[in-house]
Amino acid sequence: MKFTVQTETLHQLREALASQCDSIRFGPEFCEWKIPSLEHLKQAYKEVREAGKGFKYVSPILSNHGIEKIREQLVFLKGLNDVEVVTGDLGALNLLSECGGVVLRLGRPRVYIPARSPWSQITRMPDPGFFTRRKVEKIFYQTSLNYVRSLEYFKSLGVMGADVEWIPKCFPHYKKIIKNGFKIAVHTHAIPVAVTMRCHMARFLGEVEPALCTKPCLSKAFNIRQKELEKKFILHGNVVFRAVEPNEREARQLKRTGVDELIIPMSPVSRLNTVNELDEVMVALM
């Protein structure tokens, strides 16, 4: 099993480089206001390659402003032959598929998985029968990539794989995607339940202008509780997550499905911030 560390800053990247990981992801998954500058991107790539690890660039869903911001970065990336680009935006995906020269992967925002939401939310339907529940459950734990036409569409754009979640009941469905020639990488520790274009965390903390945001999400996250479902979540930037605890048994199960990459996030949500914490997770999941 290969381990990739998700980072958003040069500080996180340098900490991850000292770990046992095989590759580094650099860039924000969900917030376009955290897209690194071209200078920082070049520096990140240089340091990762000097360390002999793989480099993967990440971009979120983008507005027109965000698309313009990453155009020059895409020009830099397409000139490299050893970079994978993970994007959650169809516009960026179209730009990249026209450019060529990079390995493309779908980010989590582009892969629909109903099971990101708590199962208890679904079972609130009035007295579902056994067979109804089984039918709903079969759909609930599939992904949009289990629909062959969706998979073929993305493959036609040159996409080679996708990011998905650590949800054990989804694992058998991942196996079917892999059998259709699509690589799967699984995120550990945090599942995005809801994503908004506007940042609720910034609103709570009094950030007025996105372009001038002080990025408190680089060091903070908030625990929240949904009383009706009796579930706990984590608000981080423009995303509500639910925490998961990966374990060795489930990692072995994933490996049997054909998954060969785990993505470990450095963030206030995972509470993984140091090389020792990262290495402990990797050792536990080997």
State whether residue 92 is helix, strand or coil.
helix
Model confidence, pTM? 0.89
For the chain, the average pLDDT equals 88
CA dist., res. 131 & res. 137, Å (int): 10
pLDDT category at 150 given cuts 50, 70, 90 is very high
Q: What tens digit of pLDDT does each residue of 73-94 get?
A: 888 888 787 888 999 888 888 8
Rg, Å, the chain Cα set? 19
How do beta strands 261-265 and 2-7 pair? parallel
Residues 120 and 235: their CA atoms lie apart, in Å, by 20
Q: What is the pLDDT of residue 48?
A: 94
pLDDT of residue 175: 93
Distance CA 9, CA 60 (A): 15
Quick one: which of 192, 181, 186 has its CA closest to 159?
181
Residue-wise pLDDT tens digits, 8-65? 999 999 999 999 999 999 999 999 899 999 999 999 999 999 999 999 999 998 888 8
Taking only the tens place, the pLDDT of each residue in 258-283 is: 998 999 999 999 999 999 999 999 99
> Is the pLDDT confidence value at 123 over 60?
no
Q: Is the pLDDT of residue 128 over 80?
A: no
Contact 145, 151 (CB under 8 A): yes
> Which segment of 75-89, 118-132, 145-159, 189-203 scores lowest on mean pLDDT?
118-132
| pLDDT of 120 | 58
User: Which of the four pLDDT bands, split at 50, 70 and 90, describes residue 204?
Assistant: confident
